Amino acid sequence: MLEGLYNQTRETMDKTISNLNRELGSLRAGRANPQLLDRIMVDYYGVSTPLNQVGNISVPEPRLLVIAPWEAKMIPAIEKEIMKSDLGITPNNDGKVIRLVFPELTEERRKELVKIAHKMGEEAKVAIRMVRRNSNDQIKKMKKNSEYSEDELKLAENRIQEITDEYIEKIDKIIEAKEEEIMEV
């Protein structure tokens, strides 16, 4: 039963880590990254559809994204949604494809992005601590029901704390790597 609790705790914390990685992927670090467009939804025959499902997205150069819609009549709708997004990039089209040119980031913008990355890291740490609290609550219920000895439950709480520390450390490393990527000129 305790082993199941540890696995459940790890599983939930893994989801937090993958969510953090997905969020950080949408942070523009001066390089063209198709993940930046993941949140953009386009009206496709009256249905709100993810951009990556209405065309091909490629990265021919480090600072260029090319979107090739499967239907040329989708270009205006795609451009409109990109303009409405928080990307801050003006799309260019030649009637067949849309090009997004990513400008060099300024020092000020890089520092701003680092702050945003740190904030995302803090939010992930809060989520990890919530998972720890929930796991410890389950241990307290077991204590109440006298399912395990006092010593076993104390060891279980320590094990949950070790798992928590491990995941907090993972978050710190991920944020550190993202900070290096953002500040890289």
123-161 pLDDT, tens digit each: 999 999 999 999 999 998 988 888 888 888 899 999 999
Among the candidates 78, 101, 124, a domain finishes at 101
**pLDDT given at position 137:** 93
pLDDT-based confidence at residue 185 (cuts at 50, 70, 90): low
Q: Do both 116 and 178 map to the same domain? A: yes
CB 85, CB 77: distance < 8 Å = no
Range of the structural domain that residue 78 is part of:
34-101
CA distance 155 to 167: 19
Residue 151 sits in the same domain as residue 94: no
3-state secondary structure of 145: coil
65 shares its domain with 50: yes
Boundary residue ending a domain (101, 127, 153): 101
pLDDT of residue 133: 96
Distance of alpha carbon 68 from alpha carbon 93, whole angstroms = 10
Closest CA to 97 of 39, 127, 123, 58: 58
Would you state the pLDDT for residue 172?
96
Average pLDDT of the chain, as a whole number: 88
Specify whether 21 is located in the same domain as 44.
Answer: no
CATH number, domain containing residue 83: 3.30.1360.40
Domain check: are 115 and 97 in the same one?
A: no
- The CATH number covering residue 162 comes to 1.10.132.20
Specify whether 111 is located in the same domain as 93: no
Same domain, 39 and 13: no
For 155-176, letters b (16+ CB in 10 Å) and e give ebeebbeebbeebbebbeebbe
List the one residue out of 16, 18, 24 whose CA is nearest residue 128: 16
Say if residue 153 is in the same domain as residue 94. Answer: no
**Cβ count within 10 A of residue 106:** 10
123 plus 165 within the same structural domain: yes
Count of structural domains within the chain: 2
Question: Looking at the whole model, is its pTM more than 0.75?
Answer: no
Mean pLDDT of the 38-66 span: 86
Do 115 and 164 fall within a single domain? yes
Q: Is a pLDDT exceeding 80 seen at residue 7?
A: yes
pLDDT tens-place string over residues 78-136: 888 888 877 777 888 888 899 988 877 788 888 888 998 999 999 999 999 999 999 99
Choose among 65, 69, 75, 66: nearest CA to 102. 65
Q: Which of 42, 66, 101 is the last residue of a domain?
A: 101
Distance CA 99, CA 39 (A): 18
